[in-house]
Amino acid sequence: MRMVVANWKMNHLRRDAEAFCATLLASYRPVDGVVAAIAPPFPLIPVVSRLVAGSGVRVYAQNAHAEAKGAYTGEVSMAMAMDAGCTGVLLGHSERRQYNGETEATLLPKVKAAAAQGLMPMLCVGETLAQRDANETLEVLRGQLAILAQAPVSPIAVAYEPVWAIGTGRVATVEQIAEVHAFIRKELATLMGAPGAQVPILYGGSVTPENFAEILKVPHVAGGLVGGASLDPAKYLKLLEIASL
């Protein structure tokens, strides 16, 4: 299975989302084995969910809280995300880790809560440039993935995003991607047993229609978590086309 997940981050207003979906649905046709998903900002989830209903395009939340309800001003529960139309949720994106202080301790209950609610968690992992330069990449990833030993949920996906390649125009080399994805696959097998062999591992970090085909040739790469390029419906359609080849 391949996945192409559009992470809109904090971009687009209602009119932009409506225009995007109109262009997307005019050309999009589901392909067996290729999952198309959009992760809009929270206010746009109901808009996008309504517009893509019945098309095969899935909708993900960019984050959600571990608690089911309560006095958590500004937060959204897993049940609320699902009620708004989501079937999955991104967890632990590097920007959440950097700007919102998310750690393995806060992500473990989120992974469990998502699975319990019926949302597919996509756990994001990745190293900073300083960590890579210090040859700490695999150690960092091992620590980020370790929570799956305590939450061996299925289905689940993992997205590897080298922090230094997100929105910078820099992309990890094929050799770097291959090394990390092989390592993640091995770790998943250790942490989860046989189900670890079936977990999709996506690559993210300045993915574009120009480099996606080469990235998909790397063993254990099951698709892309796409940022900037996913804001353009024409580029997103091209990425889906490439994933279907």
CA distances from 38 to 90, 108, 129, 159 (A): 11, 23, 28, 15
CA distances from 118 to 5, 105, 114, 158, 166 (A): 18, 21, 6, 17, 29
Residue pair 234/13 in contact by the 8 Å Cβ criterion: no
What lies within 8 Å, CB to CB, of 233 at 6+ separation is 19, 20, 21, 23, 24
Tell which residue, 126, 116, 50, 70, has the closest CA to residue 89: 116
Residue pair 212/242 in contact by the 8 Å Cβ criterion: yes
Q: Which residues on neighbouring strands pair with residue 4, listed in sequence order?
A: 36, 224
Residues labelled catalytic = 93, 161
